[in-house]
Chains A and B, each alone.
Chain A
Amino acid sequence: MNTPVLTAHALTKRYGTHPALTEATLDIPAGRIVGLVGPNGAGKSTLLALAAGLIRPTSGHIEVLGRKPAADAEQLARVGFVAQDTPVYAGLSVADHLKLGEHLNPTWDKQFAADRIKQIGLDPAKQAGRLSGGQRAQLALTIAAAKRPELLIFDEPVAALDPLARRAFLQNLMEFVAEIDVSVILSSHLISDVERVCDHLIILAESRVQVAGEIDDLTAGHYRLVAPRGTLTDLPDGVDLIAADHTDRQTTLIVHNTNPTPLAISGAEPIGLEDMVLTYLHRAEGTTAPTLEETRA
């Protein structure tokens, strides 16, 4: 369990001249549930496909569970990947899917798969094309988990689901994690879901990793500072300015304290996960870096 689940160094993927992922450097410990957030086109699917070994990097290095992604059959068996919209074979029945899984995966856990299908309440004879979105997602999750991987990768597993189906899917996923000791990487637009199920976060925007780390560390390290304009002229060492808003009277700063000690500035308020994510996404969109004193013409 001590091998990191994913390490990347200057990982880059370009399609022609279009950068899909630029110099991503990551180190994710094992046993985490990792949330990958960012706007559409930020590079989330590219990063997940690189981790699953579906595509090769243009440059840089990536290792998953200590080895090159999809290096051989053994490595493939260690990683379960569920693509966007949880695809299944519409013409095949639920039972056919399980049979297929059993034939294609040397580590298939038949009992586990049968138990889960029963617990979710899926009819084995039903064609997958006739399942609801939520049931289809549950089937895809069961198949990915029944191969007993060490890492499960999901590309926006809940994006198309209604709130009830979404919650049911996450409950099921968390039960798997509690039961089979697996690391998870999932991308999502729903910060509240990420806050609920994830303990590690990667924010991607404009093809770059904006920030990554343990969620509790990140939320404890980000603060909002509000002060009369002109009074916040200097920040302590190790405190990064992420965003600055100036009105004629007031300055509002979002800062990231990278020191191990709490931030000792009066008036500093912790910010929630959602505000923190949005701050990074806004910053990535902006063209100029924030400054402590706004210069006006």
Chain B
Amino acid sequence: MIDFYLEPRSGVAPYMQLVHQVQQALRLGMLTTGDQLPTVKQVVAKIAINPNTVLKAYRELERQGLVAPKPGRGTFVTATLAGEDLTAQAALAGELAAWITKARGAGLDDEAIEAVFTTTLRKAQQEQP
């Protein structure tokens, strides 16, 4: 079982924060197929959020094919994000490290590198949500 938390000033909608936390737990192997997510009642009692928010997050995870509800029993993990993902991540991190070296060589400092990365990521998000 995992615990949720809420970052009030993150600017990310509360239901998305829950979705991200489950995805993250799946990526890190803290949750695997067959594990149960906390019930809606457990989540609201713990972090004082709207039950509809929890339901919305679980519906989104269901839509992504990561969890499935079992009537009367709760919501269970049906897929995992670890495995091949981790190998792919290592390769991507290597490419990114090479790019950072290149950016430094072009005279960019760390702040400039971050700015290029976030603006490009944001642009990509807008083009392909």
Tell me the A residues contacting B by CB distance below 8 Å.
31-33, 167, 170-171, 173-175, 177-179, 192, 195-199, 216, 219, 262, 270, 272
Contacts and interface: CB of A to CB of B under 8 A. Distances in A.
B7 to A, nearest CB: 10
Contacts of A175: 41, 44-45
Contact of B51 (A178, A192, A216, A262): A178
A177 B44 contact: yes
Interface in B7-41: 8-9, 11, 13-15, 40-41
Given A174-B48, A199-B53, 12 more contacts: A31-B52, A167-B48, A171-B47, A174-B45, A174-B50, A177-B51, A178-B41, A178-B45, A179-B41, A195-B14, A196-B47, A196-B48
B48 A198 contact: no
5 closest cross-chain pairs (CB), A and B: A174-B44, A170-B48, A178-B51, A171-B48, A192-B8
A153 B61 CA distance: 32
B13 A178 contact: no
Interface residues of B, number: 21
Question: Interface of chain B, helix or strand or loop or mixed?
Answer: helix
B94 interface: no
Interface of B: 6, 8-9, 11, 13-15, 40-41, 44-53, 126, 129
Nearest to A264: B126
Contacts of A270: 11
A275 B81 CA distance: 35
Nearest to B15: A216
Most buried by B among A178, A195, A272: A178
B48 A197 contact: yes
Nearest to B12: A272
Nearest to A174: B44
Given A174-B44, A178-B44, A196-B8, A33 B15 contact: no
Contacts of B44: 171, 174-175, 177-178
Contacts of A195: 8, 14
24 contacts: A31-B52, A32-B52, A167-B48, A171-B46, A171-B47, A171-B48, A173-B48, A174-B44, A174-B45, A174-B49, A174-B50, A174-B51, A175-B41, A177-B50, A178-B44, A195-B14, A196-B8, A196-B47, A196-B49, A197-B49, A198-B50, A199-B52, A216-B15, A262-B129
